[in-house]
Structure 1
Amino acid sequence: MNETAIEQLPPEVRPQTNATETVFALLFAISFSHLLNDTIQALLPAIYPVLKESYGLTFTQLGLITLTFQCTASLLQPLVGYITDKRAMPYSLPVGMAMTLVGLISLSQAHSFVTILISSGLVGAGSAVFHPEASRIAHMAAGRRRGLAQSLFQVGGNAGSSIGPLLAAWFIVPHGQGALSWFSVIAMLGVLVLFQVGQWQARNLHRIHKRHAPVAGAAREVNDGPATRRVVAAVAVLVVLIFSKYVYLASLTSYYTFYLMDRFQVSVQQSQYYLFMFLFAVAAGTIIGGPVGDCIGRKRVIWVSILGVAPFSLWLPHAGLVTTALLSVIIGLILASAFSAILVYAQELMPGKVGMIAGLFFGLAFGIAGIGSAVLGAVADARGINFVFAACAFLPLLGLLTVFLPDVETAGEK
């Protein structure tokens, strides 16, 4: 139903909100749900030192745990996004959070490497349902402020990712793996909030904009060969940028604690605090990219957020403890804005495919991080954790490929 038809309806049966208005209440609700979801997910890598000590796991096995979680999420997310683009499923979000709840409880009781893998896969499946559909809600509630909406959505997730290690340091490290079950309360709260979000979505499906041709500056007709190739080339560049960002992030989120313990002999609990500092910086920096992208363009934000990290990432392997902590904060602040800018850029490049694009890029992010974590774990076993950080320092230089992205501007923006 278009907006003209909506205006002709009697007031008592009109949808609750105008499609051009930004619904901040929903954006905050979905951001809060993202915080809850990613807090739970962040508990998994945060308890790696506990699992490593309890079960004598190698870095390779820890990488396989991350691979299982990330690949379960990445393989399912594009499929979920594609299906929900075709048919709206407003109540899929609480179902996804319920899957995460089951995985969390299972992980708290897991007593072998195989059961840990299965539990991680369940948490990943819940994430696969959550992210593309929650991103669609952010898009629906955005009105004309899509960059801001995605940043608000992302900052919730990044805040949750930063809180996870802190909670692990306070509760799981002192009390052991079984303390994971305490966090089932967070998942149950998420189910309740997302049920309310689903009700809003069911009443406001008119806010999903369907356009069938890519935006000006990228491609004008779907059947235009050169234009289509241009879109494909742009997506390929975005995939490489996602690779550089998330493999580098995987080195920090999965192995930063081990790097600090090996290089500076800090304790497990102290390493969790340093990890929290980095992840909190990521959360704080996320909010910048979206609204800045609304003002100056996504491409400029992508330039700065990927390539701008390089000087600091190259310095980090050679710094002392205090400088390392400071550099990790700077890296987190700069790198954080990349994903929101890339996601909105891709949605503007291929409009009308909001769920599929969200699922594809969230899936890529999870899958690349999972594969990267597994490979880096094997490299750490073979060459040492310090070698991993020295090698990964060069990944942000791939941001130079941003020069090949076309300029994309959605009508009505800027």
Structure 2
Amino acid sequence: MAIAVDLHLTILGIITALILVSLLVHLSLRRGSALGWMAAALLCVFVELLVLRFGAHSRLGVAAIAMLVPAIYVCAAQAIRRGTGLAFTSHRVVSGTALLTALSLLLLAMPVPPTLQYVPFQLASILVFFDAALALVRKHDRDAFEHALLVLCFLVLVGVILRVPMFPALLDEPTPWGLFDAALFERVFIQCMGVLNTSLALLVVARIVARVILGYRHSSERDGLTELLNRRAFDTLIDKPTASRGAIIMCDIDRFKAINDRFGHQVGDEVIRSFACMLSLQGEHAGRIGGEEFALLLTDTTLEEAAEQAEGLRSAFDSLQHPAIGPNVQVSASFGVAAFDADTSIRAAMRSADIALYSAKQNGRNRVEIAREETVSPSLTLAAA
């Protein structure tokens, strides 16, 4: 079966590249166990191809293939599971896979037909990979990527099942299935399986890398304490041109330093998270732009509607009772509200809202101020907080 082996070797470079990509991303990011599993699966494929090329005619080589083939699908199943957010394969399935593999190794030492020797470890591969595909079927929130992955998984499964009676032909051994044409098996089936397996590996690696990149993008745009947009992401948001009207609310927790000093930073963090949670319910464009300073961007909203939302936030936060603080200490926040339209930049509205917030601080805190004409220099800060 030199032709079949050579067809496999044509994708060896792709497999090697995928191994390197998986390992480099996994090691450099120090996260993403799915990439580690995929690298292990591809490494097993790499070794299997070498054994098929140079050692398939020895008893040791055949024994190595009997262990490598199930290992490929075990590792690939874990990569698929972890890459799609599923749990690892159950111990029962892993144990069944190991027992079937051991049965193949036992049969290899006995004088039985090759077809029977090779069936158990192929059934082990089918068992563990079918279990992963079935888990993916049961996942309710599949995206387009996962639908494509599911289709490829079942195509590979069909190929693996069809390969069972013809597997001895890969090792230049006779098969009892005379209806199958060996030349056709070499030219068509092996090529199709090579394309399917390589496509599956590419899709899984792409999925995993995409998830890792999205995770880091999320981390770069979100505040670690509150999960709101951080200052950089919020600045990027308001600098985008807009053709619609809206409003922006600037918020600041009153006397927050006193809360930290009196009750500790852990309580202070919990107060910030509580306020951030209230803010996030008002819209998706909420950001933490400083220690205890926040901003909320509202689109298709009038100044009056934004002021009502700010008043609702102020009232809800004013009623907050934290167990560590007690009823005798009030937590509150001040708000500044400004509107914008197609002729006014959101950045300018943010400055106006900031000035209104400063006025709220100056006028007693725990209140909402609506931006009017700028009578205060934009250079003023919230030092009064």
Q: Which structure has the larger Rg? A: 2
Quickly name the TM-score band, shorter chain normalised: under 0.3
The structure with the greater share of residues assigned to strand is 2
The answer to which structure, 1 or 2, has the higher relative contact order (CA under 8 A, 6+ apart) is 1
The TM-score normalised by the length of structure 2 is 0.25
The TM-score normalised by the length of structure 1 is 0.24
The structure with the greater share of residues assigned to helix is 1
